[in-house]
Structure 1
Amino acid sequence: MTTTTVTAAVARNTGDPLTIEELQLDALRPDEVRVRMVATGVCHTDAIVRDGIYPTPLPAVLGHEGAGVVEAIGDEITTVQVGDHVVLSAAYCGHCRQCRSGRMAYCEHLFEEDFGGHRHDGSTALSSGGTPISSHFFGQSSFATYANVVETSVVKVDREAPLATLAPLGCGLQTGAGAVLNDLRPEPGTSLVVFGTGAVGSAAIMAARVAGCTTVVAVDLHDSRLELATRIGATHTVNAGTVDVVDELKKITNGDGVNYAIDTTAVPAVLRQAAESLSIRGTLALVGAAAPGTEVNFEIGASLVKGWTFKTIIQGSSVPQVFIPRLVELWKQGRFPFDTLIRNYSLDDINAAFADSADGSTIKPVVVF
């Protein structure tokens, strides 16, 4: 079997820094797309898999916000051609009840497709000295110079848009923006608060302005992030370390509470605050990734009469092939300025990208190959 040598960042042991290695990429299968990676975002989900919180077998090549150029296609591929510019997003099976209903984000085989670490036949695309390395993370494993990608992960994009800028659209930005534009769909003139202003929360703030929300509140512990939130669309900011968040949100909304709350933190105490900040008939959306087994307590006595809605949202309830091109167009129009969140790193500096994301000094790290 013909193999190609690639350079990749490998997660070998739980919690350890990634190592830069040369690996073998196997021959392209009929249902795969060979992508030369130009850039890839670094996402919180990569970190929690590296740390063993989600079940992808290690060693593995992670990365699930790739962007690049199609170098070859398998015989069964119909949606892209050689030379196309593509953004890579989450994989989905395409044939379960949810996928057939257009709800690809809720694919019944999500964990197998995105976290399994192998093809459906059990093989991996990557190896080191004959030893298998988990691949196909989110259908792609984009922390490598080349990848064999499943077709459902591939999204064709405008060739005029810079791929190094577009890479983060594949997961985090799609998640935040899609939660607003695809799922909550707030009415113009309503209020929305975002808890946590990392990449996901920042995308939700920008999307709220696109949707026509007139009160958009950012809640965070870092003043620098709150200042950026103001520049990208927040009408109000709240530092959760200095004031009572619920009281402050009530003041901002003239005592009514917010119509929509989005939590990106997955911190139980923050989720409780988000619920208590809601207006009558308000909606709380949970989009942050938490460790399995995490639980939240909500008061249901007095709040029963308020008609609140609590919901979880994954991948912004998006069909990537539809929603990502929409986000590109909004960016070109100046209405979704997500490029202000990005800081570039080399592949050799990928562990610094993880560290800077974890301490909040970088909102959206992007590795450029």
Structure 2
Amino acid sequence: MDVQGAVVRGQGQPFELATLQLDEPRPDEVRVKITASGVCHTDAIVRDQVYPTPLPAVLGHEGAGIVEAVGSDVDFVAVGDHVVLGFNHCGVCRLCRRGRPAYCEYLYERNFGGTRPDGSVAFSEDGKAVSSHFFGQSSFASHVNAARNSVVKVPDEVPLELLGPLGCGFGTGAGAILNSFGVRPGDTVAVFGSGAVGSAAIMAAAAVGAGAIVAVDLIDSRLEVATELGATHTVNSKTDDLAAAVADITGGIGLDFALDCTGIPAVTRQAADSLGKLGTAGLVGAPPFGAEASFEIGESLMKGWRFQTIIEGDAIPQDFIPRMIGLWRQGRFPLEKLVKSFPIADINEAFDASARGEVIKPILTF
């Protein structure tokens, strides 16, 4: 069938709307009519080939939509169901079987490889292959054949136009707080970078009653939003003394948790330096392959602190996406404060607005 998709044809090139041909869903796939798809920093760095994916490609990995067809091996959704699309994983490797699908042995191939496991693609253009199945979905298209393990059924009454980012950006930030860190009431938390991922982390920390929630950013407008989301303190690290602020907030003992959402090595170091004894620093930002961060290990030896890299918020999408929807229904995860919708025709403007810091989470609508 003919579908509309936004195609990246070369490294760093703008997205181009095109008419593509979508093949039939395989037995382990679900055809979804996309209602909306979030725009994520990961899409931008793959467009720019910081993380290589074969081009030309249809990217997009925060899709939400309505099921139009179901493969013969899929029995948990039916035509007409509302779904959110998350990351893909094999489901059978040792780490998937341990309930850790974000660390699937085949995570890169299943999410960035540009094909199905058998090497086929779902999209073509005038008979030429176009990379598909980005994160098992490639949701910058009006219709997709999504991998079974990327599909999460959601209640019909919840607004689909808000939900796509739960599959990656919002899920990563919230999951880092709730799953990876296991933040408890009264814990002290700093979030470095208050974009979409960081904002979700702040909301999650507020939802569990963290004692101090410190938002760190360079953009005052984002820090203002962070306060609305539950941050108890804000630090503009361009103009404020971060170390002094953390010492003041924590009474000199340092933080329990520090989450770097930027992927900038210098910021990762700042996050680690802000910890108190037995604190944990986590990295969810996406630095380029080969990036390194340095840490002080002499005096730090007495602190027993930990550093943790975190993928997809250590979440199982089929479990965690409904949990976040539950928090939203309770008013404790106000997604609507972070999003701005753009028609798919304005996809490049949506990316530019995000890069300029004007929009925390752009959502493309079809």
State if a TM-score over 0.5 links the two structures: yes
Q: Secondary structure at the match of 1:127?
A: strand
Q: CA deviation at 1:214?
A: 1.3
Residue matched to 1:286:
283
How many residue pairs match? The answer is 366
Q: Secondary structure at the match of 2:358?
A: coil
**Does 2:359 correspond to 1:362?**
yes
Hey, what's the Cα distance between the residues in 2 that align with 1:280 and 1:93?
38
**Does 2:153 correspond to 1:148?**
no
Hey, what's the Cα distance between the residues in 1 that align with 2:143 and 2:119?
20
- Structure 1 residue identity aligned to 2:356: D
Residue matched to 1:339:
336
Q: 1:317 aligns with which of 314, 339, 354?
A: 314
Residue matched to 1:113:
110
Hey, what's the Cα distance between the residues in 2 that align with 1:19 and 1:186?
42
Q: Percent identity?
A: 59
Q: 1:23 aligns with which of 20, 24, 28?
A: 20
Q: Deviations over 1:17-73 (max 9, x none)?
A: 000000000112111100000000000000000001112100000000000000000
**Does 2:172 correspond to 1:180?**
no
Residue matched to 1:64:
61
Q: Deviations over 1:186-211 (max 9, x none)?
A: 22111000000000000000000112
Hey, what's the Cα distance between the residues in 1 that align with 2:240 and 2:66?
48
Residue matched to 2:324:
327
The 8 Å contact of residues 185 and 211 in structure 1, kept in 2 or not, is answered as no
TM-score (norm 1): 0.98
Hey, what's the Cα distance between the residues in 1 that align with 2:159 and 2:11?
34
Q: CA deviation at 1:246?
A: 1.4
Hey, what's the Cα distance between the residues in 2 that align with 1:28 and 1:188?
45
Residue matched to 1:247:
244
Q: Deviations over 1:251-293 (max 9, x none)?
A: 1111111110000011111111111110111110111011101
CA RMSD of aligned residues (A): 0.6
Q: 2:5 aligns with which of 5, 8, 11?
A: 8
List gaps (5 residues or longer) in structure 1: none
Residue matched to 2:345:
348
Hey, what's the Cα distance between the residues in 2 that align with 1:187 and 1:66?
31
Hey, what's the Cα distance between the residues in 2 that align with 1:261 and 1:343?
28
Hey, what's the Cα distance between the residues in 1 that align with 2:128 and 2:83?
30
Structure 1 stretch displaced more, 208-217 or 308-317: 208-217
Q: Secondary structure at the match of 1:77?
A: coil
Hey, what's the Cα distance between the residues in 1 that align with 2:255 and 2:155?
37
Residue matched to 2:271:
274
Hey, what's the Cα distance between the residues in 1 that align with 2:24 and 2:300?
57
Structure 1 stretch displaced more, 344-353 or 179-188: 179-188
**Does 2:45 correspond to 1:79?**
no
**Does 2:36 correspond to 1:39?**
yes
Hey, what's the Cα distance between the residues in 1 that align with 2:331 and 2:184?
21
